[in-house]
Structure 1
């Protein structure tokens, strides 16, 4: 297949994955995506009346709080490759009284949505794409001159969380060695790497805001439900079905070694927000 065909097929696979996740994504009682989105919005505060595009909108963790501020005089647009995620986001937007929010099925790698926008945000999406720099160049073209970019990726992982996830390692291809970054090598492994990637796409005034989120699992069963409700499901799918019970038991044993007296486990996830401007 040509690079374009490979990219198209990859996008379809990601879309199918998140269609399967849409019913439970960010809905198993683990406070994860909300605090991460709040960190991005604090670093990239929305303004009333602006035109905002959120790429990879999911259930709306970034877009819907932004839309609360932007209001009906602005434009709040969210795109996602998954129609299932868009359906859920649409329901959440309606429940929040945000009928003016626009939701569009679109490929983050080669977006077809029309700008210009004052702000483009994208949280925990870029590392799913086959060519992140090319995607960023496309996103640059969606911004007005002086427009803002905010991209969230993962920072340092809690070594205890890594130790639990190592139960999957024998079953995984290289791009899934890390559940939360699709691989720590390359630009996603450091603040400087992300800044260089964004700058190479044509952005200026590139800077990083870092943070950390405490992720609490009430017990091992909630950890298990969480891993099936997010992109980490791909890791489970790499484990032969007849071996999943043994992998789960080993993960539970490792979780138990880190558990508090009430059986809960709390990990700390580093978060990186890379901010920039269109010249």
Structure 2
């Protein structure tokens, strides 16, 4: 990807996440927090360690890292969206997590000291970046020898149950390029190519529950999917909701809610000692 295109993509991504920063992960549908907490649990941060959250959003992984490393450690979060940084910084203060700091910075090329972190997490971030391999290499340099990296991604990268709602309202693509995030093996090859050892993946299924169609709509506007909504003319939004209702009906449970099992992949690796 050219420099100009990459810069435009970063600007668009930052703008979208600025617009959702006040509602991100806070519409009553547990999503980013349980995924990030599971990732942090797999990384096993220890008291006194220095931890880094790459693309921290509203702090789902950052706060879990801060709690784990304790007052004797340090947890640093960086994010490209100023709204996210401001809100997360305020939340860290409210929680009394004095061992936490949050900075406005591009996770694709973080300007941080090399060899300064024992553990790093990037939860639902890597596939947004214009150059995932370059980012992984940059992250490796931030870790101490033997330092641990953890990534969370969709196991079914296309997130079919969500994308199917929108596909009839967007321009058709003649092809979809293969992505390393399509399979566990693809992600692991990408991480190994960036120079990591001990690369392995584990998966779990997140039980996603929507009370009704209105909550699904609020949730789909509260994160990166907002960019998809904004590509569709507003006059067609009622049609999208009709399509969503039809699609979600297949997931209706006995209590009337919609329950969807979302497979999540956690990929772990280490910087060579």
Measured against the shorter chain, the TM-score band is over 0.9
Q: Does 1:145 align with 2:145?
A: yes
Q: Which residue of the partner structure matches residue 123 of structure 2?
A: 123
Tell me the distance in 2 between the aligned counterparts of 1:272 and 1:134.
Answer: 21
Alpha-carbon contact 2:52-2:119 (below 8 Å) kept: yes
> 1:139 Cα shift?
0.5
1:230 equivalenced with 2:230 (yes/no): no
Do residues 207 (structure 1) and 205 (structure 2) align?
no
Question: Using the alignment, how far apart are the partners of 1:174 and 1:46 within structure 2?
Answer: 44
Alpha-carbon deviations, 1:110-150, whole Å to 9, x = none?
11122421111100000001110011011111111111111
Match of 1:43 in 2: 42
Q: Which runs of 5+ in 2 are unaligned?
A: none
Q: Which residue in 2 is equivalent to 1:271? A: 264
Match of 1:180 in 2: none
Distance 1:266 1:74 in 2: 39
Q: 1:12 to 1:36 in 2, by over 3 A?
A: same
- Is contact 1:157–1:269 with CA below 8 Å preserved after alignment? no
Counterparts of 1:17 and 1:151, CA distance in 2: 22
TM-score by length of 1: 0.91
Q: Distance in 1 between matches of 2:16 and 2:248?
A: 26
What displacement does 1:157 show?
7.2
* 1:94 and 2:93 aligned: yes
Q: Which stretches in structure 1 are left out of the alignment for 5+ residues?
A: 178-182
Deviation of 1:104 after TM superposition, in Å, equals 0.7
For 1:112, the equivalent position in structure 2 comes to 111
Question: CA-to-partner distance for each residue in 1:150-209, whole Å, 9 max, x for gaps?
Answer: 111111379xx735532311333689x9xxxxx793110111000000000011111112
Residues 62-71 or 15-24, more deviating: 62-71
Cα distance in 2 for partners of 1:226, 1:103 equals 25
Contact 2:169 2:240 in 1 (8 A): no
Partner of 1:16: 15
Deviation digits for residues 92-115 of structure 1, max 9, x if unmatched? 211211023110111111111224
CA distance in 2, matches of 1:136, 1:259: 39
Residue in 2 aligned with 1:61? Answer: 60
Q: Is the 8 A contact 1:153 1:273 kept in 2?
A: yes
Distance 1:191 1:157, change over 3 A: closer
Q: What secondary structure, in the 3-state scheme, does the structure 1 residue paired with 2:199 have? A: strand
Q: Is the 8 A contact 1:256 1:263 kept in 2?
A: no
Q: Secondary structure at the match of 1:150?
A: strand
3-state DSSP class of the match of 1:25?
coil
The root-mean-square deviation of aligned C-alpha atoms, in Å, is 2.1
Q: Shift in Å at residue 46 of structure 1?
A: 1.1
1:171 counterpart residue number: 169
Q: Do 2:157 and 2:182's aligned partners in 1 also have CA atoms closer than 8 Å?
A: no
State the Cα distance separating 1:73 from its structure 2 match. Answer: 1.8
| Contact 1:57–1:63 (CA under 8 A) maintained in structure 2 | yes
Greater alpha carbon shift after TM alignment, 2-11 vs 115-124: 2-11
- CA distance in 2: counterparts of 1:262 and 1:164, whole angstroms: 22
Judge conservation of contact 1:39–1:211 (CA < 8 Å) in 2: no
